[in-house]
Structure 1
C-alpha cells in the first residue's frame, strides 16, 4: 500500500502510454518511405518519382494544415477523448491505404492520414504541461518523442520484412492499422486529461505536479485571441521558422534517403531498410540526451538560454554532417553522417517541445500545433524539393541536395537566437505551483 506522503507515479505511466501512441504514429508515417520503393508496390501502381513526391509531400501538407485546429480541439475538449479519436482515425485511414488501386486513391488516403495524425504531438505537449513539473518537461518531451523515434527506427526494417515475408505491401498497412486500434484502446483506458481526474493519483503527486485544479478549457472565442497572440510573438515565429528549416533537413532521412540508397548507392531493399534503421536509431539516443541536456542547461543558465543552447548547437552540427555527404565514397560513411544528423536533430527536439509548454499556457496544444504546422510545411516542401534539386542539378544534383539541406540547418541554428521562453503567450496563465523535478 502506498504511504500517504509518498507521491504516486501515475505521471510516468501517462508518459509511457503517450510514448506508445507516438510509436504507432511514426510507424504508420514512415512506412510509406519504404513501401514506395518496394517491388510489389511499383508493380501494382507504377507511379513516377514526381507522383511519389506528391504522395509523400501531401501527407506533411495536410498534417501541417490541421495542426492548430486539432490542437485547439484538445485544449477545448481534453487530451484523452481527442487523442483517442485521432489514433482510431489514422489507423482506419492506414488500413484504407492498403486498398487503393492508383495515384488518386493513394493521394486521398495519405491526405486523410495527415489530417488524423495532426493532433498527436500538440496534444502530447498539453499532456506534458499538465502532468509534468517545469524542470522535467524537456525530459518528458524527449521520452514521448523517443516513442516516435522507436517506431520510426523500426518502421523501415519491419515494413520491408512484412512486405518480403508476405509478398505484398498492402498487408503491412493492415497490420499497422490493427496495432493502432489496440493502442487507442490502451490510451483511453490509462490516460486522463488532467491529474485531478485520475482515480489513482494521490495528493502528494498532485502537489508535486503543481497544476491548478480549476484551469478552464480554451473556448473558440479565446482561440481567436490566442491566434492573434501567436502572430505577434517574435519567439513563436522564430521557433516556427526553425522547425520548418529543421524539417527540410531531417525530412530527407525519412522520405528520400531509402530511395537514394537503393538507386544511387546500389543497396538492396532489405539492406537499405537496415541502414535507415541504424540512422534513425541514433535519433533515439538524441531524444534521451536532449531531454537531460535541456533540463540541465535550464537549471544552469536559466529558462531562456537553457532552451536555446540545445537548439542552436545541435543544428550547426547537423549542417556540418550534411556538408560531408557529397564527398564520401563509402556508403557506410554516408550512413554515419546521416546518423549524426538524426542524433543532433533529436538532441534539439526536447527543447523545442518544452518551449511550447513554457509559453503556451492553456493554449499549449494550439501553440504546439502552430509551431508544428510550420515545421511540417517544411517537411512537405522538402519532399517536393529533393527531386527538383536532383533534376536541375544534373550531374551535381546530389551535391546540390546535401548543400541545401546543410544550409537549412545553418539558418535554423541562427533563427532561434531571438527566442525567449520566459515571455508567455497567454496572459492569464496560472503560474506553475511547484517547479520541482520529477
Structure 2
C-alpha cells in the first residue's frame, strides 16, 4: 500500500502566508494612524514630516533586503524569520509610544529593517516547500496574505482607533499579535522537508519531483557558496527586473502612501468612509494574486519559462497604467474604488510571476537574489513617498492631484516595456 504524503507543506504555506499578512498590516497601519483625527490632535506634524516618516520605512526596508537575504542563507531561515517577526512587532508597538517625529522615525526605520528579510526568506523557503509546478500559485498565496493585511489595515486600524478613541492602541495591538505569529512560525517551519519531523518520505518525494538534484529538497544542509556578486552585477535580465520592480512599486505605492490623504483632502471623505473605500480598493486586488499564480503556472506549462513569466509581467502593467488614467475621470468615490481596485488587481496579477522568476533563476541564492531585486522595487516605493509632495507643489495648480495618477501611469507603462527583456529560463550565472 502506497504511503500518502503528509501535508506539512500546507502548514508551512499557511504560516508563511500569515506572516505576510502581519507584515503588511504593520507596514500599512501608519498611514491611517497619521490621517486619524486622534493623531492630529495628539501630535502636530507638517505634511512634509508625514511624508518623511512614510518614506523612512521604505528606505530602510530597501537597503536591508540583500543583507537579510544573505543572513537567511548563512544562519538559517527558521531562526532569522522568527527574530525578524518579533523585532518588527516590537517596533510597531513602539509606534504607539511615540511622542514626536524622532521616535516615529526610529520606530518606522526599525520596522523597515526587520521586515526586509521576510519576503526574500519566503521566496527561498517556497523553492523547497512548494512543488515545482506550483511555484506561481504558492507564491500567489503568500503574496495574497500580504495584500489581505494591506486591504484590512484601513478597516482594522480605523475601527481600533474609533473604538478606543486613541490612535496608539493600533500599534500596541499589532505588536502583541505579532509575538503569537512569531511562535507559530517557529513551531511550524523547518529548513527542508528532510529536517521536518512531521514530513514523511512520500511528501519529500512529491516535493522533489522535477528537481535537478536530490539535495535541492532532501539535504538538511548544503555547502555554503559566496554570493555571486559579479554575476549579479553583470546580468542584464536581473537588472531589467530591478528596474521593472522599481517602476512597478512607484506606481503601486500610491495606494499605501497617498491614497488616504487623497481621499480625505480631494474627495472630502471622513475617517470611516476613507477606511471603507481604501479597504474595498485593496480587497479587489487580492484576487489578482490567485489568478496571477494560476496563470503564470499554466502559461509556463504551455509555453515554457520565458513566456510563462513574461506574459503576465508585461500585460498586467499596461492594464494598471490604463486604470490610473481612468481614475482621473471618475467622480463617484465607489467607482473610484473600483478603478483603483482594478489597478491593484492587475499589478498583483503579475506579482506571482515575479516571485516565481526569482525561484527560477536564483538556484541556491534565491533569498539574496530576490532581495536584490526587491530592494530596487522598494526604492521605487520610497521615491513615490518623497516625490508625491514635490509633484503636487510643482505641477498641481487646481488641487485635483491628477499629477499623481499620471506619474503612476507613466511608471507602469515603462515597467511593461522593460519586461520584454526579462528571461526566466536563464539562471543567474553562479547561482
With structure 2 as the length reference, what TM-score do the two structures score?
Answer: 0.96
Query: How far, CA to CA, are the matches of 1:325 and 1:146 in structure 2?
Result: 24
Structure 1 SS opposite 2:396:
helix
User: Is 1:39 matched up with 2:41?
Assistant: no
Where does residue 389 of structure 1 map in the other structure? 391
Candidates 401, 404, 407, aligned match of 2:410: 407
Q: CA deviation at 1:270?
A: 0.7
Where does residue 49 of structure 1 map in the other structure? 47
Candidates 102, 105, 117, aligned match of 2:103: 105
Candidates 323, 329, 341, aligned match of 1:327: 329
Where does residue 129 of structure 2 map in the other structure? 131
Q: CA deviation at 1:425?
A: 1.6
Verify the 8 A CA contact 1:390 1:400 in the aligned structure 2: yes
Where does residue 71 of structure 1 map in the other structure? 69
Query: How far, CA to CA, are the matches of 1:283 and 1:413 in structure 2?
Result: 18
Verify the 8 A CA contact 2:192 2:219 in the aligned structure 1: no
Larger mean Cα displacement after TM superposition, 384-393 or 347-356:
384-393
RMSD: 1.3
Where does residue 271 of structure 1 map in the other structure? 273
Where does residue 214 of structure 1 map in the other structure? 219
Pair 102,414 (structure 1): closer, same or farther in 2 beyond 3 Å = same
Q: Which runs of 4+ in 1 moved over 6 A?
A: none
Structure 2 SS opposite 1:416:
helix
Where does residue 426 of structure 2 map in the other structure? 423
Verify the 8 A CA contact 1:363 1:426 in the aligned structure 2: no
Query: How far, CA to CA, are the matches of 1:411 and 1:295 in structure 2?
Result: 25
Query: How far, CA to CA, are the matches of 2:318 and 2:292 in structure 1?
Result: 15
Where does residue 159 of structure 1 map in the other structure? 157
Structure 1 SS opposite 2:4:
coil
Where does residue 146 of structure 1 map in the other structure? 144
Verify the 8 A CA contact 2:192 2:220 in the aligned structure 1: no
Verify the 8 A CA contact 1:123 1:365 in the aligned structure 2: yes
Query: How far, CA to CA, are the matches of 1:257 and 1:16 in structure 2?
Result: 30
How do residues 353-368 of structure 1 correspond to structure 2 at under 5 angstroms?
A: 353-368=355-370
Where does residue 381 of structure 2 map in the other structure? 379
Verify the 8 A CA contact 2:396 2:402 in the aligned structure 1: no
Query: How far, CA to CA, are the matches of 1:202 and 1:332 in structure 2?
Result: 50
Query: How far, CA to CA, are the matches of 1:326 and 1:391 in structure 2?
Result: 18
Candidates 16, 19, 27, aligned match of 1:18: 16
Pair 218,64 (structure 1): closer, same or farther in 2 beyond 3 Å = farther
Q: CA deviation at 1:276?
A: 0.6
Q: CA deviation at 1:161?
A: 0.4
Q: CA deviation at 1:426?
A: 4.7
**Size of the alignment, in residue pairs?**
423
Verify the 8 A CA contact 1:11 1:132 in the aligned structure 2: yes
Structure 2 SS opposite 1:329:
coil
Structure 2 SS opposite 1:47:
coil
Structure 1 SS opposite 2:5:
coil
Where does residue 251 of structure 1 map in the other structure? 253
Query: How far, CA to CA, are the matches of 1:396 and 1:360 in structure 2?
Result: 48
The runs of 5 or more residues in structure 2 that have no matched partner are: 209-213
Structure 1 SS opposite 2:20:
helix
Verify the 8 A CA contact 1:98 1:171 in the aligned structure 2: yes
Where does residue 211 of structure 2 map in the other structure? none
Pair 381,118 (structure 1): closer, same or farther in 2 beyond 3 Å = same
Candidates 183, 198, 203, aligned match of 1:185: 183
Larger mean Cα displacement after TM superposition, 207-216 or 260-269:
207-216
Where does residue 436 of structure 1 map in the other structure? none
Query: CA offsets, 1:327-374, max 9 Å, x none?
Result: 222222222110111101110000000000011111100011001100
Verify the 8 A CA contact 1:89 1:116 in the aligned structure 2: yes
Pair 396,215 (structure 1): closer, same or farther in 2 beyond 3 Å = farther
Query: CA offsets, 1:182-233, max 9 Å, x none?
Result: 00001000111111100111111111111523375574x702xx12221111
Where does residue 432 of structure 1 map in the other structure? none
Q: CA deviation at 1:6?
A: 1.7
Candidates 340, 345, 348, aligned match of 2:347: 345
Candidates 222, 227, 230, aligned match of 2:229: 227
Query: CA offsets, 1:403-438, max 9 Å, x none?
Result: 1100000000010111111111254x6xxxxxxxxx
Verify the 8 A CA contact 1:360 1:426 in the aligned structure 2: no
With structure 1 as the length reference, what TM-score do the two structures score?
Answer: 0.94
Larger mean Cα displacement after TM superposition, 19-28 or 389-398:
389-398
Query: How far, CA to CA, are the matches of 1:135 and 1:82 in structure 2?
Result: 28
Query: How far, CA to CA, are the matches of 1:184 and 1:328 in structure 2?
Result: 42
